């Protein structure tokens, strides 16, 4: 590239993964991110990859530059026995991983009523990896389980937008929009309005066997917008997300 795809800087450039390396992303833009923008994007990616998605990444043996050296050996889970709660720790092979994918409303640009800042959540889609919760409860002699997850909707939405933006850049699709991508300030944290541009796609979930992640870019002629679609863990029953990248040129 020889310039930062986020700010245009030409100094100290490093390669940029379209899908984060920690999600086993392989497509790379060479010399595409400056030190300042790299620090910004790495921070929100790490909040997600070393937060809610860490156990799934280990269980699915996704890539890690540090080989998951700092990953927990055990994961806490609260079991309910005879009306009493007890917290125990399980290894990754024993742990019922529940990954919560936030259900966002439509982007605020399309449905502004009730939107103020950040991103709103209408609910969550829960996807199970590893041992099934009911099987774990039965093995432990428990009547129920409680799993606490540190939810990070804004970093997650910014990561989705970054993935979509990078893919559109790689495809040359950003040449179709007027000026700079309207989602870029939210990606870089210059504006707290990621919910203006990111939302969950409401169409029925489609599972794509053999495809870890599915990233698309398309023109919405009716709305006059360039739209990205990001479907992480698309080989599982996970929701897809739409990202508004910009207004189409006339």
pTM of the model: 0.94
3-state secondary structure of 187: helix
User: How far from 99 is each of 164, 169, 178, 215, 242, CA to CA, in Å?
Assistant: 21, 29, 37, 20, 19
How many CB atoms are located within 10 Å of the residue 82 CB?
A: 7
Over residues 90-122, the pLDDT tens digits come to 999 999 998 999 999 999 999 999 899 999 999
Strands 198-200 and 144-146: unpaired
Alpha helices in the chain (DSSP H): 35-49, 54-59, 133-140, 153-171, 184-187
Over residues 129-146, the pLDDT tens digits come to 999 999 999 999 999 898
In this prediction, the residues of the chain whose per-residue pLDDT falls under 70 are none
Q: In this predicted structure, what is the pLDDT of residue 178?
A: 96
User: How far from 187 is each of 7, 48, 127, 159, 194, CA to CA, in Å?
Assistant: 11, 14, 26, 8, 7
Q: In this predicted structure, what is the pLDDT of residue 24?
A: 95
């Amino acid at each position: 590239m020889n310039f930062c795809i986020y700010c245009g800087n030409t100094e100290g450039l490093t390669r940029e993964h379209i899908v984060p390396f920690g999600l086993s992303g392989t497509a790379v833009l060479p010399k595409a991110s400056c030190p300042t923008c790299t620090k910004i994007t790495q921070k929100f990616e790490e909040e997600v990859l070393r937060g809610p998605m860490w156990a799934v990444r280990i269980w699915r043996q996704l890539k890690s530059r540090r080989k998951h050296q700092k990953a927990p050996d055990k994961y806490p889970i609260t079991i309910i026995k005879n009306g009493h709660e007890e917290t125990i720790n399980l290894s990754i092979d024993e742990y019922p991983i529940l990954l919560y994918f936030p259900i966002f409303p439509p982007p605020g640009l399309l449905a502004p009523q009730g939107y103020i800042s950040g991103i709103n959540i209408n609910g969550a889609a829960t996807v199970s990896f590893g041992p099934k919760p009911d099987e774990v409860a039965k093995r432990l002699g428990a009547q129920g389980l409680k799993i606490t997850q540190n939810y990070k909707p804004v970093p997650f939405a910014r990561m989705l937008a970054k993935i979509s933006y990078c893919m559109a850049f790689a495809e040359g699709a950003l040449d179709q929009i007027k000026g700079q991508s309207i989602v870029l300030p939210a990606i870089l944290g210059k504006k707290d309005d990621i919910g203006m541009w990111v939302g969950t796609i409401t169409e029925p979930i489609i599972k794509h066997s053999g495809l870890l992640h599915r990233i698309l870019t398309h023109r919405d002629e009716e709305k006059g917008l360039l739209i990205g679609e990001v479907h992480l863990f698309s080989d599982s029953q996970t929701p897809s997300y739409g990202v508004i990248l910009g207004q189409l040129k006339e």
